Structure 1
Amino acid sequence: MGSDEPDAARALGALVLGEEPSLTRVEVAERAGVPLDLAVTLWHQLGFPHRADDDVAFVEGDVEALRLATELVRIGILSPESQAALVRTWGRSYARLAEWQTSLLAGLAAEGGGPATGPAGPTGLTGLAGDVLPRVEALQSYVWRRHLASAAEHLLDDGSALTAAESRLSVCFVDIVGYTTQSRSLDGPELVRWVDGFEQETTALVVDHGGQVIKTIGDEVLFTVADPAAAVHVALGLTARGADEDDPFPAVRAGVAHGSVVRRLGDVFGSTVNAAARLTSAARPGSVLVDAGVHEALTGGEGSTGEDETMPWRFRRARRIPAKGFSNLEAWRVRTADPG
């Protein structure tokens, strides 16, 4: 490592943090008026690396952040019970985002591209970050506020969500067929582009139908939507694209369940989620399986065959599926009705 690289790395850290580190963790806790053990617990939950008591690795921003966290607890916005889970969620989310952004900047710096030019390595990265960081920070704040407004709108639309811990939602998993085999035939950049395309196209369709992508897990996307008809539209639309040999979208299968769902920190839990996952794993390539909740909601009753000619779908009962927590999960295959 060249002698100037540690200095450049420190300059980059100071640029990102807003100042040169000048405080130890003991001094940060003292200035914030917070017990040191609580401060250390918060930093660990955020995923920050361990620091010794005499390591000068903190800035005034750390003091203010610690004060804000304890104030949220004090005024009752952030309860002690939910503090650990929320802080861990923040830490995981921002750690992934920061890793991706740093890799992106490092690649641009190595290529000598971007708004600032310079040699590859920390020096070039520092110059590039100086141009990019303020813009990214402002954009992240905008995206967060837009999502906050959208989440508030959904919450107010669903009056029961204001007082109940559970909501009635349709949950859908969309799974790439043959992912393991296909991933072996692609190099790293090709695999990234392939998965990115799957996630991007799926997200766009979900959002267009009023849904929310909960998470992506490589070869799988989990989304929720209030309307089971919208969930089926999305699932059938994606499987149709996957069946089109001229469409680069991968072959997929999907499972949809409708019922009570527990929402917590951006994730969803409960038997409805488990049913959707099990339906997906049991679905044939290119097909969509739905549970009794979806079938009843879309056909108008438990005894319906789903063969109403005015409906845009056709249902066929499938074999009951063995599933943990269920006494044989009822399932129906759903397809788009033939035009006629």
Structure 2
Amino acid sequence: MVPRKIHSEILTVLLIDLVDYTRQMSKADREKIHEIQDVLDALALPQFSHYGGKVIKKMGDAFLVTFRSATNAVLCGVALQTKFYEYSRKREYKLQIKVALHAGEVVHRNGDVYGDTINTTARIEGITKPGHIVFSEAVYLAMNQNEIPYLHLGLKKLKGLRRPVRLFRVKRVYDKILQRRLAWERRRKRLFRWLFTLVLIIILTSVGLYLYRNVFPLV
């Protein structure tokens, strides 16, 4: 029996999920539900398109998107978090998202995608905190690591998976670790400027004294 040809390829899968959607919808009227969906589409869809993502499906408060470039997929996640953060910062009604990514073989069938890669992405999303972008080692190895600042989270046991998965998280400007590093960089620059000024003063003073003593010697 000849094995059936199955359409599959190696892709990076991105799953974006709106935080606390069920509770918000339980308190919203139909107009508010439509408004939230419109905002979700307006903020997310342009980013998917810009970074070369293909929207496979939308599931109420979530998008499943595939990318041929792992780097573009993670950069898309960064852009999404930035857009939602900027939107919510100016409004009383906050919209927070979680972004999870994994890379591997994806099986195509009737416009949908299947396989362990999809399941693993969903499991990663399940442990991702609001406002975070978490990706697997498979994404880490495939992406350009010089373009994206990241934190190593270590091996994590995910529900339904036999083996733990090594995970990483994109650093954010407001991460405590990054804040400390940025604060140290600012202090280092101030110290450097202060030392440079001090050395310059010492040099100019020394030159001035030398010239004064040689040009205008004491009688």
- TM-score by length of structure 2 reads 0.69
1:250 pairs with 2:114: no
Q: Secondary structure at the match of 1:323?
A: coil
Are positions 1:311 and 2:156 aligned together? no
In the superposition, relative to structure 1, how do residues 291 and 203 fare at CA in structure 2: closer, same or farther (>3 Å)? same
SS in 2 for 1:330: strand
Greater per-residue strand proportion? 2
Q: Look up the equivalent residue of 2:165 and give its one-letter code.
A: L
1:215 aligns with 2:57: yes
Q: Secondary structure at the match of 1:198?
A: helix
- Alignment partners' CA distance in 2, 1:289 and 1:241: 17
Q: Provide the residue aligned with 1:290 in structure 2.
A: 135
Determine which structure has more spread, i.e. the larger CA radius of gyration: 2
Q: Does 1:332 align with 2:168?
A: yes
Between the aligned partners of 1:174 and 1:226, the Cα distance in structure 2 is 17
Cα distance in 1, alignment partners of residues 129 and 169 from structure 2:
10
Distance 2:112 2:37 in 1: 21
Kindly provide the amino acid, as one letter, of the partner of residue 313 in structure 1. Answer: P
Query: Which residue number corresponds to residue 101 of structure 1?
Result: none
Q: Distance in 1 between matches of 2:29 and 2:120?
A: 34
Q: Which has the higher contact order (CA 8 A, sep 6+)?
A: 2
Report the 3-state secondary structure (helix = DSSP H, G, I; strand = E; otherwise coil) of the residue aligned with 1:222: strand
Q: 1:323 is matched with which residue?
A: 159
Letter in 1 for 2:160: K
Corresponding residue for residue 203 of structure 1: 45
More helix by share: 1
Q: Distance in 2 between matches of 1:181 and 1:226?
A: 34
1:241 to 79, 83, 86: 83
Q: What are the Cα deviations for residues 85-125 of structure 1, in whole angstroms up to 9, with x where unaligned?
A: xxxxxxxxxxxxxxxxxxxxxxxxxxxxxxxxxxxxxxxxx
Residue equivalent to 1:42: none
Provide closer, same or farther for how the CA distance between residues 249 and 169 of structure 1 changes in structure 2, counting only shifts above 3 A: farther
2-side partners of 1:209 and 1:165: how far apart?
A: 24
Helix, strand or coil for the counterpart of 1:322?
Answer: coil
Q: Specify the alignment match of 1:78 in structure 2.
A: none
The answer for the alignment partner of 2:114 in structure 1 is 269
Task: Return the letter of the residue paired with 1:180.
Answer: T
Contact 2:69 2:143 in 1 (8 A): no
How much has 1:261 moved relative to structure 2? 0.7
Matches within 5 A, 1:1-340: 165-244=7-86, 245-246=89-90, 250-298=95-143, 310-335=146-171
Moved over 4 A (4+): 336-340
Q: Over aligned residue pairs, what C-alpha RMSD do you find? A: 2.3
Amino acid at match of 1:268: V
Alignment partners' CA distance in 2, 1:285 and 1:270: 26
- Structure 2 CA distance, aligned partners of 1:261 and 1:249? 34
Please give the alpha-carbon distance, in whole angstroms, between the structure 1 residues aligned to 2:38 and 2:157.
32
Q: Which residue does 1:49 correspond to in 2?
A: none
Does the 8 Å contact 1:242/1:252 carry over to 2? Answer: yes
Deviation at 1:201, TM superposition (A): 2.4
Asked if 2 retains the 8 angstrom alpha-carbon contact of 1:239 and 1:286, the reply is: yes
Distance 1:212 1:196 in 2: 19
Cα distance in structure 2, aligned partners of 1:263 and 1:241: 30
Q: By how many angstroms is 1:181 displaced?
A: 2.1
Is the Cα contact below 8 Å between 2:43 and 2:83 reproduced in 1?
no
Structure-2 change in CA distance of 1:311 and 1:165 (3 Å): same
The residue type equivalent to 2:166 in the other structure is E
Identity of aligned residues (%): 23
Shift of 1:271: 0.8
Gaps of 5+ in 1: 1-162, 300-305
Contact 1:260 1:272 in 2 (8 A): yes
Task: Give SS of 1:286's match.
Answer: coil
| Amino acid in the other structure paired with 2:43 | E
Shift of 1:292: 1.2
